[in-house]
Amino acid sequence: MGKAWTPTSAADGVEQALKILEGKWKLVILFHLFGGNLLRFSELERAIPAITQKMLIQQLRQMESDGVVRRIVHHQVPPKVEYGLTDWGQALCPALDALLKWADLRQERRSGD
Amino acid sequence: MGKAWTPTSAADGVEQALKILEGKWKLVILFHLFGGNLLRFSELERAIPAITQKMLIQQLRQMESDGVVRRIVHHQVPPKVEYGLTDWGQALCPALDALLKWADLRQERRSGD
DNA sequence: CAGGATCCCCGGCGATACTG
DNA sequence: CAGTATCGCCGGGGATCCTG
């Protein structure tokens, strides 16, 4: 809180955190889990048609081990697994929200131009 | 503003915007340009030692053509070029800031664990 | 339904050398 | 100083088939 802002010191810590979000799909997935949404594997698949099963499970697993995503297993005869954000993942919401607003600005920009 | 929030419709626009930030270096570079900083090519090189000239110029060019970064050329005998954010790039600041705060949470998390 | 295992491609990225 | 040009790796990512 009382830290002096220098681009280099900040970027140092940030670069580590950014690696967690690196990859083509991480942020896209997070946006779908945004707002406390619990989604099943198949729901995520349908929500992101362009992703393959392999990439979906791979990215989910990575984010899980990074502590961003949590996996909720319901032991049922037809297996049911839901994915959601951890508390720390929820802490990303302000950032995701700001990104969302920024994306909207782009839309206006393009239609207004 | 009056738009109904649905993950899918939002993610649709977001995915486009995310492409602009995709890549290993984009966000790192943006963090250095954060706050209206004007940095020279060589300054960016030193600020991000791990990046190569090729990647630096490539990412800068892409962001420039995406309207996020602006390039200021000073016609001098020793060439001098500065890079900064465009207005639209500045609009990313809240998002970058939120990301920064999130990165800090991670630090605390790790030291507290 | 939710994932694992495999094979393979392509392009992001790195290293090095050169130029205005 | 601020880039270009070229070559090549290697791993992220895609497609497809298989299993508990």
| Mean local confidence (pLDDT), A11-35 | 90
Question: B106 or B10, which is more confident?
Answer: B106
What ranges make up the beta strands (E) of B1-113?
A: 39-40, 69-74, 80-85
> What pLDDT score does B1 carry?
46
Smallest Cα–Cα separation from B32: which of A85, A89, A5, A106?
A5
Residue B102 CA distance to nucleotide C14 C1' (Å): 30
Residue A33 has pLDDT above 50, yes or no: yes
Q: Is B92 helix (H, G, I), strand (E, B) or coil?
A: coil
Residue B2 has pLDDT above 80, yes or no: no
Chain-wide mean pLDDT for chain B? 90
How far apart (Å, rounded) are the C-alpha atoms in residues B100 and A12? 11
> What pLDDT score does A10 carry?
59
> What pLDDT score does B6 carry?
58
| Mean local confidence (pLDDT), A19-36 | 94
Residue B61 banded pLDDT, cuts 50, 70, 90 = very high
Q: What percent of chain A has pLDDT over 90?
A: 77
Contact (CB<8Å) B27/A7: no
Radius of gyration of chain B (CA): 17
| Chain D footprint positions (protein CB, under 7 Å) | 1-6, 12-17, 20
> What pLDDT score does A15 carry?
83
Smallest Cα–Cα separation from B34: which of A62, A106, A7?
A7
- The helix (run of H) or strand (run of E) holding residue B83 is strand B80-85
| Mean local confidence (pLDDT), A1-28 | 75
Domain A11-112 adopts which CATH fold? Arc Repressor Mutant, subunit A (1.10.10)
A38 touches chain B (CB under 8 A): no
Within 10 angstroms of residue B108's Cβ, the number of other Cβ atoms is 9
- Enumerate residues 55 to 74 of chain B having a beta carbon within 8 A of any beta carbon in chain A: 67
Contact (CB<8Å) B17/A99: yes
β-pair partners for B71: B83
Size of interface A-B (CB pairs under 8 A): 107
Residue A92 has pLDDT above 60, yes or no: yes
Residue B16 has pLDDT above 90, yes or no: no
Chain centre to alpha carbon of residue A28: 6
Q: Is the CB of A80 within 7 Å of strand C? A: yes
Residue B6 CA distance to nucleotide C16 C1' (Å): 49
Query: What region does B74 belong to: left with phi over 0, alpha with psi -120 to 50, or beta?
Result: beta
> What nucleotide is nearest A52 when CA is compared to C1'?
D14
pTM of the model: 0.90
Q: Where are the domains of chain A?
A: 11-112
What is the Cβ-side half-sphere exposure of residue A93, based on CA atoms within 13 angstroms? 12
Between strands B69-74 and A80-85, the pairing is unpaired
Q: Is the CB of B42 within 7 Å of strand C? A: no
Q: Is A105 helix (H, G, I), strand (E, B) or coil?
A: helix
Q: Point out the residue among B18, B47, B105 whose CB comes nearest to the CB of A7.
A: B47
